[in-house]
Amino acid sequence: MYTLSVRDHFMIAHSFRGEVFGPAQRLHGATYVVDLELRREALDADGIVVDIGLATQVLREELAALNFRNLDDLPQFAGRNTTTEFLAREIFDRMAARIAAGALGPHAQPGPGTPGLASLCVRLNESHVAWASFEAALPQG
């Protein structure tokens, strides 16, 4: 399996509901370093997993929708604890949709009988000692 990883970051504010979160129940900020790992069985016709510049650009575009936002104010997250794990899945879903729509080029799109991307892993580094990730196969058409 071939992999390509790109990295970016975003900053948010949010709060959590539930005693398990202790002081994080109050509004607080977080800066996440995001590692996106793209995987495929075979390289494309150009000998790459995907274009590294394009992968960086698309990740940056998706993170821009969250950057410098209070997640408690966003309707799509109403009633949810926007934990690191939750956000890793959210970014995975956003990137998977962009890949399916062709944002990383036609050779990256997964599908039956095509050698496109096979899976993704999104890792959110909350600090230098704590992180969470979500990874899964991409739907194949």
CB atoms within 10 A of CB 98: 16
**Span 68-98, pLDDT tens digits:** 999 999 999 999 999 999 999 999 999 999 9
Mean pLDDT over 41-70 rounds to 96
- Write the CATH number of the domain with boundaries 34-39+79-141: 3.30.479.10
SS (H, E, C) 22-58: HHHHCCEEEEEEEEEEEEECCCCCCCCCCCHHHHHHH
Mean pLDDT over 31-44 rounds to 96
Furthest-apart CA pair in the chain: how many Å? 53
- Ranking 16-20, 45-49, 89-93 by mean pLDDT, the lowest is 45-49
Q: Which two tokens stand for residue 108?
A: 């990256």
Check residue 115 and give its pLDDT: 77
- Tell me how far apart the alpha carbons of residues 123 and 109 are, in angstroms, rounded to a whole number: 21
Which residue type sits at 18?
G
Question: DSSP label at 20?
Answer: G
In the block, which residue shows the tokens 């202790």? Answer: 22
In the chain, % of residues over pLDDT 70: 96
Whether pLDDT at 113 is above 80: no
Whether pLDDT at 141 is above 80: no
pTM over the 0.85 mark: yes
Mean pLDDT over 4-9 rounds to 98
Check residue 34 and give its pLDDT: 98
Whether pLDDT at 63 is above 90: yes
> What are the sequence ranges of the domains in the chain?
34-39+79-141
Mean pLDDT over 118-122 rounds to 97
Query: CA torsion 97→99→105→109, rounded to 10°?
Result: -110
